[in-house]
Structure 1
Amino acid sequence: MDINGRFNQIITTLFKGNKSAFASAVGVTPSVVDNIVGKRQGKPSFEVLEKVSAIAEINIEWLITGNGNMLKEQTQKPAAITKKEKLISTHSGNETYFESLTETTKKDKGAIPLVSERAVGGFANEHFTIKEKDVLAYYVIPKFRHLGVDFMIEVIGNSMIPRLYPGDIIACSIIHNSQFIQWNKPHLIATREQGLIVKRLRKSMEKDCLLAVSDNHEYDPFDIPKDEIVGIARVVGVIHLE
């Protein structure tokens, strides 16, 4: 299988054959995707390869050479988060070093679950619960105590640089009513086609859509139909890992 075939495999496997959804997730135009997987069978630029590897969690070696597995190997627990004195930033914009980043158990008061991506696919449901098998660890973080944090999750992709970097841990508060969206603030959005994405949300000019905006200016804003959204959580804090 050549590199064009591997692109097609990604679209088929992760995006159910939806090339437009793949283009939006990666941050390229549909014409770029058509050029690679369409009749022309053009070769992707290195910039496109980097975007696919970062956003879609694709193994770059497999993408280029065909060697290894398609998906990057996922670690069960980000090792750096267990260390103290990591930089914690809250919604207020202030940053400080906080020594009490402590791994604990679910029983401890104020324990926040660090979850895998599959745990939060449908958190629009008012009865949303996190299954224990999807929890990577629990942490007590005093600075998050009064922020209404429901869960934490690792950032994937570079579309929110310089606000968020791959490997950062974001603290999320689930929004059960769209009236409580804080416009132009970072949110974690669960979508039917693209999975989980982190973007700033703004009002869209399109009917029944929200405008998703990246901090990384290499990624163009795009509209998300409201009926494609299955959950929204406000990003109220972030732990920047070293």
Structure 2
Amino acid sequence: MGNILDKPLVLDRIKEYYKLKGNAELARFLGVAPNTITNWYGRKTFDIDVIYTKCVDIDMNWLLTGEGNMLRAESEKEENIPVAHPSDSPMEGIPLIPISAMAGAFTGEQTVLEYECERFVVPTFKGAEFLISVKGSSMYPKYNSGDIVACKRLPMDDIFFQWNKVYVLDTDQGPLIKRVKPGSDKEHVLIVSDNERYEPFELPLNRIYHVALVIGVIRLE
């Protein structure tokens, strides 16, 4: 699982970088209620999506760990990401699937893919069947929390993994976005995070219900 983040210290780093005087200014900067900041400090938690959206200049590795450069690299800010825009037509574009509807996305359930989701037109994502948002930091720096990945479903009756590629896996542990490598035998695969603080682990193939290959990413700045 890796080390637990010192989450109050993350909030302090935001105040340090943006020279915010106290929790009230931090709340205004993040666009949340003052009691939300109080609760975050008290419960040692925060909303990573809010922080990633607002702190566009801060390097996420420095923010979360205190290590490395404080500023996000210009190459990260200007990464060549395909342009996406919301579709005006309910049937056009790629659906952005909420985590709660993930199983329906994997099976191609029409009520999920066609009617219940916001859709985006991304011309370069040919073959993508759905989009999902990345949650957490386990795939940092490849993917940040809040990034949107484009996925192509793979048939489970004849599954073929391209080793070290990133996949979205529907498992008995819930959905995972991880690299897949060979396991200790043909009945297992090794699940690997890009963030070194998360230990790799083996997963039996019979506990993987659906698989999709990640074919692209949209990074929101």
Task: Give 1:139's aligned amino acid.
Answer: F
Residue 183 (structure 1) shift: 1.4
Instruction: Tell me, yes or no, if the aligned pair for 1:116 and 1:153 is still in contact at 8 Å.
Output: yes
Aligned counterpart in structure 2 of residue 236 of structure 1, from 209, 215, 218: 215
Q: Is the 8 A contact 1:171 1:238 kept in 2?
A: yes
Match of 2:199, SS?
coil
The CA deviation at 1:119 is: 1.5
Q: Determine what percentage of the aligned residue pairs are the same residue.
A: 33
Q: Which runs of 4+ in 1 moved over 3 A?
A: 59-67, 70-75, 122-125, 127-130, 177-180
Does 2:171 align with 1:197?
Answer: no
Q: Which one of 135, 138, 142 corresponds to residue 159 of structure 1?
A: 138
Q: Residue 97 of structure 2 contacts residue 105 of structure 2 at CA under 8 Å; is this kept in 1?
A: no
Deviation (angstroms), 1:101:
2.1
Question: 1 or 2, which has the higher helix percentage?
Answer: 2
Distance 2:145 2:161 in 1: 24
Q: 1:185 aligns with which of 155, 165, 168?
A: 165
Q: Within 1, Cα distance between the matches of 2:129 and 2:144?
A: 21
Which amino acid in the other structure matches residue 149 of structure 2?
I
The two structures, once aligned, show a CA RMSD in angstroms of: 3.4
For residues 129 and 223 of structure 1, the distance between their equivalents in structure 2, rounded to whole angstroms, comes to 33
Q: Would you say how many aligned residue pairs link Structure 1 and Structure 2?
A: 165
SS at match of 2:141: coil
Q: TM-score, normalised by structure 1?
A: 0.57
TM-score by length of 2: 0.62
- Per-residue CA deviations over 1:156-190 (Å, capped at 9, x if unaligned) read 01111111000000000011145332211000111
Instruction: Select which of 79, 98, 101 maps to 2:84.
Output: 101
Cα distance change, pair 190–174 in 1 and its aligned pair in 2 (3 A): same
How far the C-alpha of 1:128 sits from its partner, in A, is: 3.7
Q: Aligned equivalents of 2:138 and 2:216: distance in 1?
A: 17
2:206 aligns to what SS in structure 1?
helix
Q: Which residue does 1:89 correspond to in 2?
A: none
How far apart are the structure 2 equivalents of 1:120 and 1:60? 31
Gaps of 5+ in 2: 8-35, 55-78
For structure 1, the 5+ residue unaligned runs are 1-26, 29-46, 52-58, 80-94
